[in-house]
Amino acid sequence: MDYRSSDPYASPYGPDTPAGPRREDVLPASATAAVKVVIVGGFGVGKTTLVGAVSEIRPLTTEETMTQAGVGVDDLAGVEHKTETTVAMDFGRISINEQLVLYLFGTPGQERFWFLWNGLFEGALGAVVLLDTRRLEVSYDVIGRLEERGVPFVVGVNRFPGSPTYPMAELRAAMDLEDSVPMVDCDARDRGSCRDTLLTLMRYLYTLTTASPEPQ
């Protein structure tokens, strides 16, 4: 039987045999620019959820079941029911428009995996910091590391059900953020909300590149 098809994505070996990349995984031919963006934050703030919610391709995740090896090492305060964790990275892709594509890299949240950040941040133009209002302290060091690296970032406040609600001004003060750093609400489960947060980052990066240099 001849399984050849006019569909370039169909398998030549039969309908039940895996073929090449799925149609939605293929980069649009109209894309002319690609930007690497890193999604960061403390342990359990929703990074994997965000990448999975907004990615237009099947996201790559490296979540593994948490074991006794992490007892006494990983701080589970506030996320006691979490059973899986990212041990390397998450990866996804979203087309902002016909020309601009963002490649999303989600970082592991536990400090013991932060040595992986060096590679994940290479070539990144900016970052989204996810904030959990139940555990603001898990993001202090994350923001500090971004500032040390000079990586531009925006902050997305991922408000979990039942989490305390604070005005943005109070959150900005608590995180000691400069007024110029954008801070927005971001529901990591909602594709539209995540996309809006990424667009906020893109606009922020644009303002940084077009800002007039200070006089010497």
Q: What is the mean pLDDT of residues 166-188?
A: 95
Q: Express each pLDDT in 147-161 by its tens digit.
A: 988 999 999 999 888
Asked whether residue 54 is assigned to any structural domain, the reply reads yes
Q: Is the pLDDT of residue 89 over 80?
A: no
Q: Is the pLDDT of residue 180 over 60?
A: yes
The pLDDT score that the predictor gives to residue 8 is 40
Tell if the pTM clears 0.95, that is, is over it. no
Indicate the average pLDDT of the chain: 77
The pLDDT score that the predictor gives to residue 55 is 93
Asked whether residue 75 is assigned to any structural domain, the reply reads yes
Domain that residue 132 falls in: 41-209
Mean pLDDT is highest, among 18-27, 71-80, 113-122, for 113-122
Residue 181: give its domain's CATH number. 3.40.50.300
Q: What is the mean pLDDT of residues 89-116?
A: 79
| Structural tokens at position 103 | 């490649």
Asked whether residue 15 is assigned to any structural domain, the reply reads no
Number of domains, the chain: 1
Asked whether residue 1 is assigned to any structural domain, the reply reads no
Whole-angstrom distance, CA of residue 214 vs CA of residue 216 = 6
Q: Is the pLDDT of residue 98 over 70?
A: yes
Asked whether residue 12 is assigned to any structural domain, the reply reads no
The pLDDT score that the predictor gives to residue 75 is 53
Q: What is the mean pLDDT of residues 67-79?
A: 48
Asked whether residue 179 is assigned to any structural domain, the reply reads yes
Q: Which residue has the tokens 């016909």?
A: 98
Asked whether residue 187 is assigned to any structural domain, the reply reads yes
Asked whether residue 4 is assigned to any structural domain, the reply reads no
Q: Is the pLDDT of residue 72 over 80?
A: no
Q: What percent of the chain has pLDDT over 90?
A: 40
Q: Is the pLDDT of residue 82 over 70?
A: no
58 close to 25: Cβ distance less than 8 angstroms: yes
